[in-house]
Amino acid sequence: MFVHFRKIAFLIALLLSVSSCVVGKKKYDAEVALKKTAQQQLDDALKKIAALQSDTSQLNNQLQYARQELKGLMDNYQQLETKYKQANEQLANRQKTNDQLRTELNRREKELQDKEATLAEREKLVQELQDAIRKKEEASKALLDRIKGALSGFNSDELSITLKDGLVYVSLSDKLLFKSGKTDVDAKGKQALGQLAAELNKNPDIQITIEGHTDNVPIKTAVFNDNWDLSVMRATSIVRLLTKEYDVDPRRLTPSGRSEYFPKAANTTPEGKSQNRRTEIILSPKLDELYRILEGK
């Protein structure tokens, strides 16, 4: 029985040994397969790591390039920002300049409008003055013609009638009006003055100045101290004659004496002295319209 038991034990041990060998080989194969799989996974992982490292390097390069591009863009942006600020400042300055120019332009336009208005007013005034002067000249010319007609019966050496600066000058010689050194008007002189007064009374708007003139020969008498006295008294003598005998309004008359200081000719010859001994009656149409225009009334 013991032997039998030993046989049984041997068989069991043999079975265990065989079973152990079988189990060990499987485990070995499994480990080998696992190791192979792990090695493959390791190789794959290393490959992936290498690929990732390559990708990382490329990404680093791209990142560096992108950073350089970003830096360039930032620099460009800063430059553009600076230019933008400068452009805004220039625009603001130009706008300010434009505003100043517009203000100046408006001021100039206002000045121009004012000047144009002033010019228009002046042109209107000039036209009115020209019209008034033209009317005065026409009136003076008409008066000249009437006076010439009224005194047409007298010789040129007795009197002359001229138009000068819009005034009518009636120059009566000494021999027509007065005897030498006298102030009383002779008969023929009265005739001339009467015919002149008749025409003047038809034209009440005519202002009349009587001027006495002498030559340069001094005079000294009980009546006259000098030629001033003689020229003034002859002028006032004619004024009295016109007002008292011929009814000329005295408010229209102004007598004056010019003595020897406004000669018509040289006092070196008898003829020249004769021309200088004269009485001038200066006729002027009223200048009321001219004065009104000038005063702006």
pLDDT of 297 over the 60 cut = no
Contacts 24+ apart (CB under 8 A), 240-249: 241/185, 241/190, 241/193, 242/193, 242/197, 242/200, 242/208, 245/190, 245/194, 246/193, 246/194, 246/197, 246/198, 246/201, 247/197, 247/201, 248/197, 248/200, 248/201, 248/208, 249/204
The per-residue pLDDT for range 114-166, each reduced to its tens digit, is 888 888 888 887 787 777 778 878 888 988 999 999 999 999 999 999 999 88
pLDDT of 191 over the 70 cut = yes
- Model pTM score: 0.60
pLDDT confidence band for 291 (50 / 70 / 90): low
Which of 68-82, 158-172, 176-190, 226-240 shows the lowest per-residue confidence on average (mean pLDDT)?
Answer: 68-82
pLDDT of 77 over the 90 cut = no
Q: What is the mean pLDDT of the chain?
A: 86
* CA 223, 226, 230, 236 torsion-angle sign: negative
> What per-residue confidence (pLDDT) applies to 292?
59
pLDDT confidence band for 288 (50 / 70 / 90): low
Which of 77-86, 108-117, 214-223 shows the lowest per-residue confidence on average (mean pLDDT)?
Answer: 77-86
Residue 274 near residue 175 (C-beta atoms within 8 A):
yes
pLDDT confidence band for 180 (50 / 70 / 90): confident
The per-residue pLDDT for range 26-58, each reduced to its tens digit, is 888 888 888 888 888 878 877 887 887 787 788
End-to-end CA distance of the chain: 176
Residue scoring higher pLDDT (73 or 204): 204
pLDDT of 286 over the 80 cut = no
> What per-residue confidence (pLDDT) applies to 46?
79
pLDDT of 240 over the 90 cut = yes
